[in-house]
Amino acid sequence: MPVPHQQSPVLILASESPRRKELLRRTGADFLCVPADVAEYSEGDIPDELPAKNALLKAEFVAERFPEHFVLGADTGVFSGQKMLGKPADHEDAVRMLSALSGTTHRVITGTALVCRSRQIKVVWSTVSYVSMGVLSREDIENYLRCVYVLDKAGAYAIQEHPELLKASWQGELENIIGLPLLKLNEVLKSYQIVKNQA
């Protein structure tokens, strides 16, 4: 991982997620990746706030090493009722999660944080989208799991990979469900001139 030069601020993504890297490239920002090695929050008094707390935790961990630079942290939670579903531990855990989501509409919340310690900048926000899944049989679920690797995905699915197998539809920003809400992020990056307004 190249160490940023200290002369000019750069953007650092506190993640190695291929999905987040791909989404962040769409903003036109130049960035480096430095993953945050932190123990994420998995429960709290207000579950909806967990993704934002985790996003800030990741951003501040990396910003401590690179105080002159902007650091972007993000965390996506899939919520079944008030319970946040993490990444499945194994195949049967994935089956259990998808069975719980079958025939329901659930929330996907991505917390996003932009931090620059030297400038005392800390911007944190949450974005909510909704995913509806059809009624899924065990065969439907097993068919999906044969097609999509889910052990690294919260809620045991990726909306961008074969949503038809989950009979899935959504409301809100698709990129938020994938892992990085670009509408607000673009505004924030432009406000700090990390990306330029288009002429």
Residues serving a catalytic function are 75
Contacts of 18 (CB under 8 A, 6+ apart): none
d(CA 93, CA 71) in angstroms, rounded, equals 33
Which residues on neighbouring strands pair with residue 74, listed in sequence order?
Answer: 112
The 3-class secondary structure across the chain, one letter per residue, is CCCCCCCCCCEEECCCCHHHHHHHHCCCCCEEECCCCCCCCCCCCCHHHHHHHHHHHHHHHHHHHCCCCEEEEEEEEEEECCEEECCCCCHHHHHHHHHHHCCCEEEEEEEEEEEECCCCEEEEEEEEEEEECCCCCHHHHHHHHHHCCCCCCHHHCCCCCCHHHHCCEEECCHHHHHCCCHHHHHHHHHHCCCCCCCC
The CA distances from residue 192 to 182, 185, 187, in Å, are 15, 11, 9
